[in-house]
Chain A
Amino acid sequence: MRNHDHSGSGMTTHAPIRRLLTSRRHMLGLAAGAAGSGLLRPPALRAQPRTLLPVAEADALVAFGHTSPVTDGGWTMAHDQGVQAVRRAFPRLRTVYVESVPYSADATRIFRQFVAEGAQMVIATSNYGDFIRDVSDRAPDVAFMECDGHAVSGNLGWYYITHWYASYVIGIAAGLMTRTNKIGFVGSFPIPSVYAGANAVLLGARSVNPAATLQAISINAWFDPQAATQAGSALADNGCDFLCGIMDEPAYLRVAEQRGIKAAMWNTDMRQYGPEAYVSSVTLDFRDYYVEQVRARLAGTWQPQGHFLTLGHGVDRDPWGRTVPPEVAAQADAMRTRIMQGYNPFQGPIHDAAGRLRVPQGQAMDDALIYQWDWAVAGVTGLD
């Protein structure tokens, strides 16, 4: 239990009812009333967290919306392992998932359909912004969770991993291992997680190798092996000898293996796709967190909130690849230990790519600030 210390307040005052039968009707009734804009509603109404009634395990339906196929070998696979852990922990509960949920109005339809089918908990394993918010506002009896989300309302919360610490640790290895001092980064969109990932890698690298630079390419997708391959090749052509990125799949690791350079990945252990090139990976583990959240929902103690899974508790660097020199691994792991003991490596002074001082000497960026990161640090090109 990392974040739940509240008891089930209010849960005993309500008689348990068959929410499976009522949730949908409730939602449709509200849909007519909730015609106004979410922005126009008084903020007090949305910030009021309400305790959702407990649900019997046999009546429970937990729905997951994934951004890519569960067989992507990366991001969605990591979440699917969490889904399987939920199934093991609660064998009588039903789970459903939809994979490849697009970032479009179709996402709203899918989440609405989950609610219509009686789900008491909807977990989006990627950011869907308004598309999930529009549904959660109209279904107040359903618990919504959004990975990489930013909004907390009465029944919508977000969770994310503090991957920037793992990226920083891997960045140290990159700084020590690069010969050309050029690190490549295959990103999806210029959004905070990508800024945080790329910035953390370069700040880590520069902590041991001040000459290091990072060149990023955004391919406008999380899962597009072909575009990731092209981006990886272009970066290698440009002289990058260490590839990083945030992709759901291992395409640019294969590029690195073919080109005889190094690569650090995301999501899972991907060394089988490029054993010579593989350095490490930002590995994710949502199993304990999902089981804990579903347990809270069943018990009626679930509360909407923002929550970070921290280094060593849901996110970590993968055991180092076989071609990583032991002294590099030791130096990077020394920082990993320090961070796990509470050290924040994101200390000022930090300049942005335009040379402006953004974080002065003596100050540090905390997780909340890093989570909103929307500028590139000095030395990062291709994002701004």
Chain B
Amino acid sequence: MAGTLQRQPTVTPARRLAWRAGAIVTALAITTLFLALSGRDPRLLADLVVRSTVGSRFGLEDLALFLTPLLLTGAAVTVTGRIGVWNIGAEGQFYAGAIGATAIGLFLPGPSWLVLPLMAASGIACGMGWILVPALARAYAGVNEIITTLLLNFVAGLLTTYLAVGPWHDRVTGALASTGRLPVRIPEIWGVVHWGFPIALAIVLGLAWLTTRTSWGYQITVGGANEQAARYAGIPVRARILGVMLLSGGLAALAGMFEVAGTVHRLQGGLANNFGYFGIVVAVLARGSCLNVLPAALLMAFILNAGIVLQTQQLTGSAVLAITGLVLFMIAIADELAHYRPVTVRPVTPRPATRAEVRP
């Protein structure tokens, strides 16, 4: 009788959840240890973090504001992951969406009920346009989308800064390095939380249904699992890759439209606040399931929100970033370890040969 570890090909959700909970607890324990060693009271900090995030209306509002873009960028990266494509460019598509929305918001006068949907449509179109070239290159020429989408992020970020300090620069109210304030805004429903939040939630739920309950979703899953087999089965894989990538660009762009029309109200450099990159983290945590984007984005939003609380307690931004990294690192390890389970190897004792097997 000898014990050994065996890698299981699949992991039950309950098992993965338990491992992840263990990972978070471990990360928090390490954090607590270091905070205590540096002379802080971890209990006071923990109490403050909980009160300032999930323990008060104020914190919940902030959490919802963080969640809104994270849900959309997380979903944007998750849907492409289902067909085996990595959209690292959510940050750039976010900016493209914000630019497209701002162009309408600034220069098309009209009532909110008309301008806001037009802003969303224009933003989504710009986000799709931003990913169109990488998507075509990936679908028809096999160009690695990780590089092309990533590099376009810097172009979009600089383009935003250029517009904000250049042609669209606000010269009326004296705001620095940003465009004028948009005359329309997404209505708020609860404190500072605007309609973008429930819409983002609904979109993620809709995507969960679309990807798991429709034949379109099934084709994407098969295309992601084995492109050759999918093609052989008659699935138009190229068209699906193109469609999914455009959908992804549109989702990230909508996040940009929500941010500029609901939260910031001006176009400016740094608007995306790394939400596009955090979307990748959310997607990794969600492991390809759109439904999982909800808890994954919630965890990310909580971490980001807690980071701000900790900074007001004189922890430096770098320490907060390190804690974030530790939590995600532990989860990554736990996800892998969840595959292993101890098995007892019973030595196979050779059966004694029966008479019938004995050949003369």
Contact = CB atoms under 8 A, between A and B. Distances in A.
Contact of A104 (B166, B181, B185, B273): B273
Contact of B191 (A31, A39, A109): A31
A130 B181 contact: yes
B177 A191 contact: yes
Contact of B62 (A69, A100, A112, A190): A112
A189 B311 contact: no
Interface stretch (A113-121, A199-207, A297-305): A113-121
A112 B273 contact: no
A44 interface: no
B61 A31 contact: yes
A131 B308 CA distance: 15
A290 to B, nearest CB: 18
A109 B270 contact: no
B161 interface: yes
Top 10 closest A-B pairs, CB basis?
A150-B174, A191-B176, A189-B177, A35-B188, A129-B175, A98-B311, A31-B191, A104-B273, A104-B270, A100-B317
A102 B48 CA distance: 22
Contact of B52 (A31, A69, A113): A113
B50 to A, nearest CB: 13
A134 B192 CA distance: 10
B273 A106 contact: yes
A37 interface: yes
B260 to A, nearest CB: 10
A8 to B, nearest CB: 30
Interface string B34-72: 000000000000001000100011110110010000000
A127 B266 CA distance: 15
A374 B171 contact: yes
Nearest to B270: A104
Interface string B100-144: 000000000000000000000000000000000000000000000
A54 to B, nearest CB: 24
B20 interface: no
A148 B273 CA distance: 23
Contacts, number: 106
B319 to A, nearest CB: 11
B344 interface: no
Interface string A60-96: 0001000001000000000000000000000000001
B286 interface: no
Interface in B173-192: 173-178, 181, 183, 185, 187-188, 190-192
Interface in A118-173: 127, 129-131, 134, 148, 150-151
A105 interface: yes
Contacts of A110: 308, 311-312
Interface in B243-261: 259
Contacts of A220: 158, 161, 269
Contacts of B62: 109, 112
Nearest to B164: A189
Interface string B137-181: 000000000000000000000100100011001010111111001
B177 A130 contact: no
A317 interface: no
Contact of B259 (A24, A28, A105, A113): A105
